[in-house]
Structure 1
Amino acid sequence: MTEESCAPAREPLPPKAAEGPYARCVLCLEPTEYAESVKGVVLCPVCEWQEAQRNACSD
């Protein structure tokens, strides 16, 4: 299995905000590292990591 076919392509992450207000994670409602004005689905660092683990390729 090649790396290209292993995982779906992800959209680039928005830039992290230097200061608040911060957007809330769509899964756990904790503050994220992204500005409140960011459109789309934003995740906190913990949920981002867990989502990456779920989407990781298995051998």
Structure 2
Amino acid sequence: MAETTREARTAAEPAPDTDGYCAPAVARAAPPEADGPPYAECVLCREPTEYPQSWKGPTLCPVCEWQEAQRNACSG
């Protein structure tokens, strides 16, 4: 496996983090909060979430959402 040098880096490769700042990931649109039951279930633990069942896409309960944010956080 060849090493990537500064001269060989292409535009498709991310630049190294030189200022110590980790830019946040692209935020996805937050689903609207449900006014009442039925609530969507969490895709990880199957607990009820605060989002309506009609929401399209993955929904996470507050605990799993917090844990996912911790896993994705920049740990400098």
Q: CA deviation at 1:18?
A: 1.6
Instruction: Please identify runs of 4+ aligned residues in structure 1 that moved more than 6 A.
Output: none
Which blocks of at least 5 consecutive residues in structure 1 are unaligned? Answer: none
Q: CA deviation at 1:12?
A: 1.4
Which blocks of at least 5 consecutive residues in structure 2 are unaligned? Answer: 1-16
Q: Identify which of structures 1 and 2 has the higher relative contact order when contacts are C-alpha pairs closer than 8 Å and 6+ apart.
A: 1
The root-mean-square deviation of aligned C-alpha atoms, in Å, is 1.2
Matched residue count? 57
In the alignment, residue 28 of structure 2 is paired with which amino acid? Answer: E
* Equivalence map 1:1-59=2 (5 Å): 1=17, 2-4=21-23, 7-59=24-76
Identity %: 60
